């Protein structure tokens, strides 16, 4: 009988390729279908982002309105071609989420062995905070995307004796684009300081070929020149890039406390947006193991970068509590360190036994299944049924599109946002009651409005603050010759069944 050589088996030889393919398919399928499962409504921040993106014009760009410009351009075209919907508003984040997941996998694969990067990638890209970012139609995801991209490009430059000019040019372009995302100027300063203080990186920069170094320096100078021109024409850009528009330094430490509260709490969230706990307990434990494991070789660039990024995360969270999502990046690196430590300890018990590696598959599968499954369930059910966050999402746009055709819609709030509906539908949107025989209104008409009566009520499948959201249709009493003084109400649900948030 021929002896089986494990290393020559097909599944063993291509195990990492198969694993990455399965992870990639699951990840892409999950992100594309995100609006169908959770966060199907739109938050106030998403409405504001969609409004700002849609009304972005050439004049605004020329006048210096460049904050989050790449994201806003993609969102603008998504709404223009697909019409106003939850999916079109979230599509830019879904696309950036796909790239961010790929960058995280490539970055971890660059710094760690394939088995470590594969397992840690599964934990991070299928976690609740990552899925939230990829399903939120705001530029918030960019504060994680740019640093991840820059770290990966930097690793491609660092790991080569003669780095290709292409990677240096790509790094410079990414740095140029990133400074127009809020707080990324701080990250650029952080990168410069980290390179200056880290002996290994300082040595690499000194020995870089002249061309890559000149490319980076030239692009950075060009970027700050463009930034200066933008600030001269659009002074509010300074505050948008350095801090939130409503930021007050007196609230700096309170913002840090509010931002990190979901990391250590078991319920609640940040302004009805982020679920608690932000980082699941198993991943938090793995990250702690990884943090302790890096103390031995702390001055290695790969080990010290995660700890430094944690400090950077604390610093930018002081400007806005939601910036705590930046934890995804340092926790990705620390989780990989933790997985690496566990695997090394396991294999160290049986250094010359190849079957120990195979026997570890079952407990590892169970362990990571236990970690990933609750995180997915928290995301899917938390944003639908947790009252701390579910009430922050409005489903009005879905109800309007499903139930109204060729009607006059009156809205009291977010007029500019709902006005976008006219682009791809026959609905006319007004901020005041028009002269029409039939109108629809999001909410009730003021009590002093004369001549209209309720003819139909459209209910929401979800509840908001324990009250059903109504969409009313009014008919002019004048056309009824003044014969009807009462109102006939007929409630019609927007969708079959109802769910309580």
Q: What is the pLDDT of residues 409-418, one digit of tens each?
A: 888 888 899 8
Query: Per the domain annotation, does 361 fall within a domain?
Result: yes
Average pLDDT over residues 480-497: 44
Q: Are residues 310 and 405 in the same domain?
A: no
Q: Compute the mean pLDDT over every residue in the chain, rounded to the nearest whole number.
A: 77
166: confidence class by pLDDT, cuts 50, 70, 90: confident
**Cα distances (angstroms) measured from residue 20 to each of 328, 433, 463:** 20, 56, 40
465 pLDDT exceeds 50? no
20 pLDDT exceeds 50? yes
Distance CA 280, CA 346 (A): 23
13: confidence class by pLDDT, cuts 50, 70, 90: low
Strand (E) or helix (H) holding 247: none
Average pLDDT over residues 56-80: 82
* Ramachandran category for residue 276: left, alpha or beta (phi over 0 → left; psi -120 to 50 → alpha): beta
Q: What is the pLDDT of residue 489?
A: 45
Q: Are residues 357 and 379 in the same domain?
A: yes
Q: Are residues 349 and 436 in the same domain?
A: no
Paired sense of beta strands 269-270 and 274-275, if any: antiparallel
- Give start and end residues of each alpha helix (H) in 159-251: 165-178, 184-197, 199-206, 210-233, 237-242
Look up residue 420 and give its two tokens: 């976008």
Q: What is the pLDDT of residue 267?
A: 65
Q: Are residues 363 and 447 in the same domain?
A: no
Query: Per the domain annotation, does 252 fall within a domain?
Result: yes
Whose CA is closest to 390, among 398, 379, 382? 382
Q: Are residues 432 and 344 in the same domain?
A: no
Query: Per the domain annotation, does 6 fall within a domain?
Result: no
Portion of the chain with pLDDT greater than 90, in percent:
8
Query: Per the domain annotation, does 25 fall within a domain?
Result: yes
494 pLDDT exceeds 60? no
More confident residue, 447 or 496: 447
Among 390, 424, 440, residue at a domain's last position: 390
Query: Per the domain annotation, does 3 fall within a domain?
Result: no
Q: Are residues 422 and 334 in the same domain?
A: no
More confident residue, 411 or 492: 411
The winner for highest mean pLDDT among 30-39, 274-283, 356-365 is 274-283
Query: Per the domain annotation, does 455 fall within a domain?
Result: yes
Contact 79, 50 (CB under 8 A): yes
490 pLDDT exceeds 60? no
Contact 187, 223 (CB under 8 A): no
Q: Are residues 167 and 232 in the same domain?
A: yes
Whose CA is closest to 471, among 422, 420, 416, 418? 418
Among 371, 390, 409, residue at a domain's last position: 390
Least reliable range by pLDDT among 21-25, 114-118, 405-409, 421-425: 21-25
Contact 391, 501 (CB under 8 A): yes
370 pLDDT exceeds 90? no
Q: What is the pLDDT of residue 251?
A: 85
More confident residue, 271 or 247: 247
Average pLDDT over residues 70-86: 90
Q: Are residues 313 and 362 in the same domain?
A: yes
Q: What is the pLDDT of residue 86?
A: 87
β partners of residue 267: none
Query: Per the domain annotation, does 5 fall within a domain?
Result: no
The domain of 428 spans 396-493
Least reliable range by pLDDT among 112-126, 273-287, 378-392: 378-392
pLDDT digits (tens, 9 = 90+) for 196-229: 777 777 777 777 777 767 777 777 787 778 777 7
More confident residue, 61 or 292: 292
Q: What is the pLDDT of residue 301?
A: 64
The winner for highest mean pLDDT among 323-337, 384-398, 400-414 is 323-337
Q: Are residues 380 and 438 in the same domain?
A: no
38: confidence class by pLDDT, cuts 50, 70, 90: low
Q: Are residues 372 and 475 in the same domain?
A: no
Domain count, the chain: 2
Q: Are residues 376 and 287 in the same domain?
A: yes
Whose CA is closest to 309, among 281, 328, 336? 328
Query: Per the domain annotation, does 338 fall within a domain?
Result: yes
Average pLDDT over residues 333-340: 89
Look up residue 422 and give its two tokens: 């006219």
261: confidence class by pLDDT, cuts 50, 70, 90: confident
69 pLDDT exceeds 80? yes
Q: What is the pLDDT of residue 32?
A: 73
159 pLDDT exceeds 80? no
- Give start and end residues of each alpha helix (H) in 410-457: 415-419
Among 367, 390, 413, residue at a domain's last position: 390
Q: Are residues 406 and 336 in the same domain?
A: no
478 pLDDT exceeds 50? no
339 pLDDT exceeds 50? yes
More confident residue, 158 or 395: 395
Give the CA radius of gyration of the chain: 26
Rounded to the nearest 5°, which phi and psi values hold at 119?
Answer: -65, -45
Identify each DSSP E strand in 395-450 by its residue range: 408-410, 428-430, 438-442
Token match 């299928």: residue? 126
Contact 464, 392 (CB under 8 A): no
């Amino acid at each position: 009988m021929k002896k089986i050589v494990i290393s020559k088996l097909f599944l063993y030889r291509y195990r990492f390729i198969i694993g990455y393919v399965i992870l990639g398919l699951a990840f892409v399928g999950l992100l594309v279908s995100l609006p169908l499962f959770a966060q199907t409504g739109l938050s106030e921040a998403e409405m504001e982002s969609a409004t700002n993106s849609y009304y972005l014009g050439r004049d605004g760009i020329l006048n210096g309105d460049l904050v989050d410009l790449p994201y806003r351009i993609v969102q603008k075209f998504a709404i223009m071609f697909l019409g106003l919907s939850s999916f079109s508003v979230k599509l830019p984040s879904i696309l950036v989420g796909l790239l961010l997941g790929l960058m995280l996998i490539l970055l971890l694969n660059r710094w760690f062995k394939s088995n470590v990067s594969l397992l840690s990638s599964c934990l991070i890209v299928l976690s609740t905070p990552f899925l939230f970012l990829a399903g939120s139609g705001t530029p918030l995801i960019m504060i994680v995307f740019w640093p991840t991209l820059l770290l990966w490009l930097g690793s491609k430059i660092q790991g080569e004796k003669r780095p290709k000019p292409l990677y240096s040019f790509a790094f410079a372009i990414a740095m140029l684009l990133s400074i127009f995302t809020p707080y990324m100027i701080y990250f650029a300063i952080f990168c410069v300081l980290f390179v200056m203080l880290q002996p290994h990186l300082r040595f690499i920069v000194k020995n870089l070929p002249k061309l890559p170094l000149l490319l980076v320096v030239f692009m950075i100078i060009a970027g700050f020149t463009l930034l200066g021109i933008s600030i001269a024409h659009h002074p509010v850009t300074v505050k948008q890039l350095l801090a939130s528009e409503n930021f007050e330094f007196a609230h700096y430490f309170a913002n840090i406390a509010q931002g990190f509260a979901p990391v250590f709490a078991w319920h609640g969230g940040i302004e009805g947006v982020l679920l608690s706990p932000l980082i699941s307990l198993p991943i938090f434990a793995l990250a702690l193991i990884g943090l302790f494991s890096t103390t031995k070789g702390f001055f290695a660039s790969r080990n010290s970068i995660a700890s430094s990024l944690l400090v950077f995360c604390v610093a930018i969270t002081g400007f806005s509590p939601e910036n705590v999502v930046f934890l995804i990046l340092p926790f990705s690196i620390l989780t990989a360190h933790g997985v690496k430590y566990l695997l090394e300890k396991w294999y160290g018990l049986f250094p010359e036994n190849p079957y120990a590696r195979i026997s570890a598959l079952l407990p590892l599968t169970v362990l990571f299944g236990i970690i990933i499954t609750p995180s997915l369930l928290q995301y899917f059910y938390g944003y639908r049924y947790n009252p701390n966050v579910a009430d922050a999402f409005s489903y009005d746009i879905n109800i309007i599109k499903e139930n109204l055709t060729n009607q006059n819609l009156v809205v009291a709030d977010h007029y500019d946002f709902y006005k976008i509906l006219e682009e791809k539908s026959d609905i006319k949107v007004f901020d005041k009651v028009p002269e029409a025989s039939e109108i629809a209104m999001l909410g009730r008409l003021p009590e002093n409005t004369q001549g209209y009566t309720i003819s139909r009520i459209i209910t929401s499948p979800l509840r908001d603050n324990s009250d059903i959201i109504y969409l009313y249709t009014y008919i002019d009493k004048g056309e009824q010759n003044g014969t009807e003084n009462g109102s006939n109400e007929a409630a019609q649900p927007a969708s079959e069944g109802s769910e309580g948030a």
